[in-house]
Amino acid sequence: MKKLLFVLAAALLLTVPARALEVSAPSALLMEKETGTVLFSKNEHEKLEPASVTKVMTLLLTMEAIDSGALHYDDVITASAHACSMGGSQIWLKENEQLSVGDMLKAVCVVSANDCAVALAEEIAGSEEAFVERMNARAAELGMNDTHFCNATGLPAAGHVTSANDIALMSRELILNHPDIRQYTTIWMDTLRQGTSSLVNTNKLIRFYEGATGLKTGSTDSALYCLSGTAERDGMELIAVIMKAPTSAQRFDDAKALLSFGFSTYALVKATPDAALPPVPVSLGSQATVQPVAAESSLLLEKAKAAKLEKSVTLVPQAEAPIAKGDVLGTLTVSADGETLAEVSLVAGEDVPRVTWGALALRFLRTAFLGG
């Protein structure tokens, strides 16, 4: 039902003409995190070099390893000669230098450190080559059909390409399911090595855009200036992807234009009842009633429509045991101006077994002789 609700929300948006919006970059996309709805796109499937925005996938695999327990923030990594040879953006790791996973994540998120990205890749998969295989496998799982990775950093390599659409997909997966990454992507300035190494975020949105939460910049001579920029306001988080912008300033201007358009035009509304739901009577159950609950669902709507929402609840008059948690007991209908926007199932919040014959007999005797 939740998936259906998201489809309904997306369909509603596509029928609403958006105000004119232009970005200078040749490829761009704006996506809402919760529903995955695309709010703006421009050449979103064009295969382009992503530069260090590649590291969104490196971060995703790292956070998946941490959240699964295979890796820990305080694990210590010893830098290999290969990791230290990366060049480009880096923190100048020395061979055999040791840093924690947390510090390396910080370096990747804040200053796009290629050496730390490769060190993390080697720690997780044994080698950068093996890690890249995992990157491509994960990309396939996410439906990133425009993508092929050749390394963990985004340094120039023949055939290393992705698209604005695919960057949005992996960015959404990272921030939706691994929100702890924010502890690093929201840092503006910090230090490493007991304060001897200074870090300043390459993502200027973190300082200069209200609600910015991340995510990753990238630039090379051939990729030009790329960005996956995320921001959250009023409970809605957006992902703005910019590729091949002519200047660094322009990628941030384009991202801010996309994000501001999204925040000013749309709202994320929780499709939940306005009042507490009454319990539903149960016949032949081990208890007299069962409490209905609304499945977690969100609607992405134009703000004008979101301000006119009406909600109505329909519940079955009685349910017969046995009842399993999740059984449908009714419907929440969400509408605006007479148009049905979504129908959300109201389900049993608990199991209610069928009463046994012995318990039924005892209940009858109690009622007959004790009055209840």
How confident is the model over 141-153, as pLDDT tens digits? Answer: 999 999 999 999 9
Band of the pLDDT at 117, cuts 50, 70, 90?
A: very high
Q: What is the b/e burial string over 94-119, where b = at least 16 CB atoms within 10 angstroms of the residue's CB?
A: eeebebebebbbbbbbbbbbbbbbbb
CB atoms within 10 A of CB 210: 12
Q: Is 236 a member of any domain?
A: yes
Q: Active site includes 55?
A: yes
Please confirm whether the linkage preceding 346 is cis (ω < 30° from 0): no
Rounded-to-10 torsion of CA 57, 60, 61, 64: -170
| Residue 266 DSSP symbol | E
Look up the CATH number of the domain holding residue 290: 2.60.410.10
Looking at residue 161, the DSSP 8-state letter turns out to be: B
- pLDDT tens track for 24-70: 999 999 999 999 999 999 999 999 999 999 999 999 999 999 999 99
Residue 200, phi then psi, degrees to nearest 5: -130, 130
Identify the active-site residue in 112, 163, 171, 345: 112
Q: What is the mean pLDDT of residues 196-223?
A: 97
Judge whether residue 372 has pLDDT over 60.
no
**Which tokens is 93 given?**
């790791």
Q: What is the pTM of this model?
A: 0.87
Catalytic residue among 27, 33, 42, 52: 52
**Same domain, residue pair 175 and 38:** yes
- Examine the residue annotation and report whether 335 is marked as an active-site residue of this protein: no
- Give 12's pLDDT tier (boundaries 50, 70, 90): very low
Q: 192 with 95, same domain? A: yes
- Say yes or no to pLDDT of 260 above 80: yes
Q: Which pLDDT score is estimated for 18?
A: 45
Is residue 286 flagged as an active site residue?
Answer: no
Instruction: Evaluate the omega torsion of the peptide bond into residue 322 and state whether it is cis, within 30 degrees of 0.
Output: yes
Cα dist from 186 to 3, 149, 157, 190, 216, whole Å: 30, 26, 29, 11, 11
Question: Is there a single domain that holds both residue 146 and residue 290?
Answer: no
Q: Among 222, 237, 266, where does a domain finish? A: 266
- Please provide the average confidence, as pLDDT, over all residues in the chain: 92
Query: What's the structural domain count of the chain?
Result: 2
Residue 197 counted as domain residue: yes
Q: Last residue of some domain: 237, 266, 295?
A: 266
Verify that 284 and 245 share a domain, yes or no.
no
Q: Which of 12-26, 235-249, 283-297 has the lowest mean pLDDT?
A: 12-26
Is residue 321 situated within a structural domain? yes
Pair 245, 335 in one domain: no
Indicate if 261 and 286 belong to the same structural domain: no
- Do 326 and 353 lie in one domain? The reply is yes
One domain, residues 76 and 51: yes
Same domain (yes/no): 225, 295: no
Are 201 and 256 contained in the same domain? yes
Does residue 279 register a pLDDT over 80? Answer: yes
In DSSP terms, 161 is beta-bridged to 148
Among the candidates 266, 288, 312, a domain finishes at 266
Tell me the residue range of the domain where 304 lies: 280-370
Say what the pLDDT of residue 359 is: 55
